Structure 1
Amino acid sequence: MRGGKVERDELIEKKHFIEDLRIGDSVSDVFLVRKIIPKDDPEVLVCDKTGEIKIAFADRSTDRDDIMNLFKPGDFVFVRKGLIDDRNGEIKIYLDSLDNIEIVDKKNVQIEDLVPSLSDMEISKMLSELRDYIDGIENVHLKALLKKVFYDDEFLEKFVRTPSSIDHHHNYIGGNLEHTLNVVKICDAIAKMNKDLNRDILVTGAMLHDIGKSFEYKPYLLYEKTDEGILAGHIILGERRIREKINELRSEGVDFPEDLEMLLSHMILSHHGRREWGSPEVPKFLEALVLHYADLMDSQIKYHIQKMEEEKKRGKNNWTLIWDNDLKRRKPFYIGEV
């Protein structure tokens, strides 16, 4: 079948990374599908660990529905005899037809070559920095909880290897760790400026706010969710995990206060800020409100940085259009030097 899945026995060795592709190159290689771009002539956005590039089809008779239905985010595809060109001002891989692309099984690829990821050194440094914040927590119960979570090797293996989102901000392996550390830094800075804030509970909430993503996503992959991730989502899973860890502390003789548990639970459940953004509740005390805005700030900054980088790779220099989720439309955005 054109564009269909082909069974292979051998491992496909990655030969051409996206960052090294140049106009005029011929490409026969494996990539990971990030998304299908719906338009009159649909395109397939693919990636490897070095970047992203679109696949377009030179044959305008290629059936639109075939492209839309054959591929999905998370598929591994082998491209045959693709041409790197910059028609219409954007560098893409051009294929003659669907005969030049096939889906391959996960067992036939080196996933590490295809999934955008922070380096092991970056991940190790960030984890060490995150753990350092535990030492600055004065509340003995919150400190015990954080140690229970962030010194759990089984949990950490998942936590440091998951993205923060699929197609928004920090969408690469290690992204959730990076985002969490950034939110902690923002909350810590705000607590130092505002003495009315309870720094301990704010920083603790920041460290814990997205731990549910470690159970929502499968480690090392950007598009595969767990069953409970699909059914419950990271907010519910994170809140559940915190209660489980608190109960473990109580079983070990730690008298963890119920009111503190209630406040932490609310911070996790409300950190998206609005029900239409996925929060079961809206923030109803000051530290929960600060956590929401810190989370929003870091996610929005990173989202725009990533979009600016994408647009610059497309050859844009000063102004471009970037999607704004609040406006529900693309907005003019300056990407030149400041």
Structure 2
Amino acid sequence: MAKKLFDYQLDEPVEGFFLLKDSEVRIAKNGKKFLAINFQDISGEISGKFWDASDQDVENFQAGRIIHLKGKRETYQGNPQIKIQQMRLTHAGEPQEVQQFVEHAPLNTQTMEDEVNQFVFAITEPNWNRIVRHLLTKFHADFFSYPAAKKNHHAFAGGLAYHTLSILKLAKSVADEYPHVNRPLLYAGAILHDMGKTIEMSGPVSTTYTLAGNLVGHIVLIDEQIVEACQQLKIDEQSESVLILRHMILAHHGLLEYGSPVRPHIMEAEILHDLDELDASIQMMQTSIGHAEPGTYTERIFAMDGRNFYRPTHDQTKGDLDGHASQD
């Protein structure tokens, strides 16, 4: 059985077929072009540099293509890296199906859809329920197949729905513990908070940001969709219920410098922000810890202030933490 990317140990030769998740042309100090690449398979992704890239190399090695790689597993500034020795496009009879190299959510689409729908039933406020149902229907296919980010947390196929479902489960625990929390509002906000990423990003394979994603961003994009839904459903968009729901989405990044137009001014908005941060952080740590051996440190996690995390020697969760290989 062929090894996966993260099966290779430090200084071990690497050889196999992998997906080019990213491939960006850059200029080295000597003025020559090189490609900054992220190789991917179902175990995750590792970066590499293809030096002295010719125009033909740039044409051949584009994001979304499958290649055969020979190289060596190394580290650079605390992060795993592949030293590329040889790289070529696949030939006839070799792997051609991109989906077999794409990391997937641990739950399949049908399971996530069924579980999300159970939370929709608990949204008893009529306006929130109608808006959520309308937008879930409109963005259904993308919502259950897109990643939650290009990089960092839940950056795998189905990651958007999986992240949303994780927050919903956390929200239920919070609402069970604190009865005064507005459960329907918290659920509605959780389902909608990142749905704008279906417009912000290009899809689950070799994900990039769209023009709207770069210039507007997912928070404003889904807020616009809520207003449009109100118009189509004949709901007063200036009613308190709609304004409160919009506030949940607009405030969920917590701080203005993190992209939120407003800071949370409703208890449920603050809770949603906290749960969003919690789930994203745990997923990033869990993924990195799954790539580390007991008794060693993980790679540095850029989105967590560049910190790395120690995996204790008594950790027995290796099988549970490795990868997200479940398929639909």
So what's the TM-score if we normalise by structure 1?
Answer: 0.74
Q: Give the partner amino acid of 1:200.
A: P
1:126 maps to amino acid: M
Q: After superposition, give the CA deviation of every residue in 1:167-199 in whole Å (9 maximum; x if it has no partner).
A: 110000100000001111111211121122211
Question: CA 1:316 to 1:276, structure 2 compared with 1: closer, same or farther past 3 Å?
Answer: farther
Q: 2:211 aligns with which of 218, 227, 233?
A: 227
C-alpha deviation, 1:88, in angstroms? 7.2
Return closer, same or farther for 1:51/1:319 CA change in 2, 3 Å cut-off. Answer: closer
Match of 2:179 in 1: 195
Counterpart in the other structure of 1:298: 279
Shift of 1:139: 1.7
1:204 maps to 2:188: yes
Q: Which runs of 5+ in 1 are unaligned?
A: 1-14
- C-alpha displacement of 1:76: 3.6
The counterpart of 1:118, out of the listed 98, 105, 110, is 105
Give, in angstroms, the shift of residue 330 of structure 1.
2.8
Radius of gyration: which is bigger? 1
Matches within 5 A, 1:1-338: 18=4, 26-27=15-16, 29-34=17-22, 44-55=37-48, 62-63=51-52, 75-77=63-65, 79-80=67-68, 82-83=70-71, 85=72, 94-96=83-85, 100-101=87-88, 109-118=96-105, 122-150=108-136, 152=137, 154-250=138-234, 258-310=239-291, 312=292, 315=293, 317-320=295-298, 322-323=300-301, 325=303, 328-338=305-315
Q: Distance in 1 between matches of 2:174 and 2:6?
A: 42
**1:81 to 1:128, Cα distance in 2 relative to 1, 3 A:** closer
Q: TM-score, normalised by structure 2?
A: 0.76
Residue type at the aligned position of 1:330: R
Structure 2 counterpart SS, 1:33: strand
Post-superposition offset of 1:130? 0.5
Where does the alignment leave 5 or more consecutive residues of structure 2 unmatched?
A: 316-328
Specify which structure has the bigger relative contact order, considering alpha-carbon pairs within 8 angstroms and separated by 6 or more residues: 2
User: How many angstroms apart in 1 are the aligned matches of 2:82 and 2:58?
Assistant: 18
Distance 2:198 2:74 in 1: 41
Q: Deviations over 1:244-288 (max 9, x none)?
A: 1122211xxx56771111111111111010111111111111111
> Structure 2 CA distance, aligned partners of 1:20 and 1:201?
41
1:331 and 1:17 map into 2 onto residues whose CA distance is: 25
Q: Indicate the SS of the match to 1:46.
A: strand
* Residue 102 of structure 1, CA deviation: 6.1
The letter for the 2-side match of 1:51 is G
CA distance in 1, matches of 2:236, 2:261: 28
Q: Considering only aligned residues, what root-mean-square deviation do their CA atoms show, in Å?
A: 3.8
CA contact (8 A) 1:171 1:222 kept: no
Helix, strand or coil at the partner of 1:330: coil
Cα 1:24–1:241 change in 2 (3 A) is same
